[in-house]
Amino acid sequence: MLIRIRVPADLTEGVLATAQEVPGVAELAVQRGGSLEPPGDVVEIQAAREAVERLLEGLNHLDVQKAGSITLFSPDTVLGTHAEQAEKEAPGDGSDAVIWDELEQRTGSDSKLTWQFLVFLVAATNLAGIGIVTDSTIAIVGAMVVGPEFGPLAALAVALVERRWALARRAAVALAVGFPAAMVTVAVAAAVSIPLGLYDPHALTSQGSAVEFISHPGPYSFIVAVIAGAVGMVSLVGNKSSVLVGVFISVTTVPAAGYVAVALVLGQEDRALGSALQLALNLGGIVVAAILVLLVYRALTPNLPHGAAARIVRRAARGSGMHDGGRPPRA
């Protein structure tokens, strides 16, 4: 990965010390006075992906993010003997490496209650409602793919593991507002469609088995959600976005929400209750599995060697005249 750091000149030596302390750094370049805002230097570091988290941990002691900025790039191809040697020196494997700041920012951007999020969730839930009353598995699968709910669920898991309560609140608000709003639109659409003759008011009792599973949760409902949540989080960590499509199709979240709304309008309270339970099992299973995956990754993520962070700060202090000390490492 390429890390570009803009930092005041008095912290440059600390940044260089950090890069030299962490195994897996391939190349290091400094442009003195290259940053106009904030005034200072530009440091570029080419490092193996599995070394980036340890590098960020060291930079965290220097308050680099407060004084300047850190930008991460993931080039498609890097050729060179230094890069190959860095991959060998860095502990672990790049595909399994977790960059926690990157993961938090990525999930955080998908967890905001925005108009775009609401449009996708409302559209997906209404598509599910149409699939339910027409007994169409194609429409239901389409609703699963369109639904954006995995973003806030993943963000909630990251927030709970990282103890980022602001992120947790943001994700919870997106889910708590988004799903009821989408279900209300489905209920209104169903109430309007019945007198217009768009579908049979007895559609739920006369339909086949294609959508029957939505209102009849069982042990496998939770098991499937756990598997999907685990695979989804692993795909986020490894930047395997194509895998997420399969995750979306696996879990019955949006279809269950649509079923609740339709069943309530049609007076099928027992089916609405079963669908609500299905929704709760799926949401809970995804979050629980995602948390467990992140805890495993955290246990396997190597930290800076004991005393290395303190040495980095001392070297920076000698080079810049700053006081010996720094922020404690992140939890």
Q: Give the pLDDT score at 281.
A: 92
Paired with 44 in beta bridges are: 4, 29
Three-state DSSP class for 15? helix
**pLDDT tens track for 286-308:** 999 999 999 988 887 655 444 55
Residues 6+ apart with CB under 8 A from 297: 96, 98, 237
Three-state DSSP class for 309? helix
Cβ atoms 215, 274 nearer than 8 A: yes
Encoded tokens for 62: 């220097």
Whose CA is closest to 253, among 220, 212, 221? 221
HSE-CB for 169 with a 13 A CA cutoff: 3
Q: Give the pLDDT score at 107.
A: 81
Predicted confidence pLDDT, tens digits, the chain (331 residues): 888 999 898 888 888 888 888 888 888 889 998 888 888 999 998 888 888 888 888 888 888 888 888 888 877 777 778 777 777 776 666 566 677 777 787 787 778 899 999 999 999 999 999 888 888 888 888 888 888 998 899 999 999 998 889 999 999 999 999 999 999 999 999 889 888 877 777 767 665 556 777 888 888 888 989 998 898 888 888 766 656 666 677 778 999 999 999 999 988 888 899 999 999 999 999 999 999 999 988 887 655 444 554 555 555 455 444 444 444 444 4
Encoded tokens for 34: 């290259």
Encoded tokens for 132: 């339910």
Q: Which letter does DSSP use for residue 327 in this model?
A: P
Question: How far is residue 252's CA from residue 223's CA, in Å, rounded to a whole number?
Answer: 12
CATH class of 2-95+305-320: alpha beta
The length of the chain, given as a count of residues = 331
Question: How far is residue 254's CA from residue 247's CA, in Å, rounded to a whole number?
Answer: 13
Q: What is the dihedral of CA 278, 280, 282, 286, to 10 degrees?
A: -170
Question: How far is residue 63's CA from residue 69's CA, in Å, rounded to a whole number?
Answer: 10
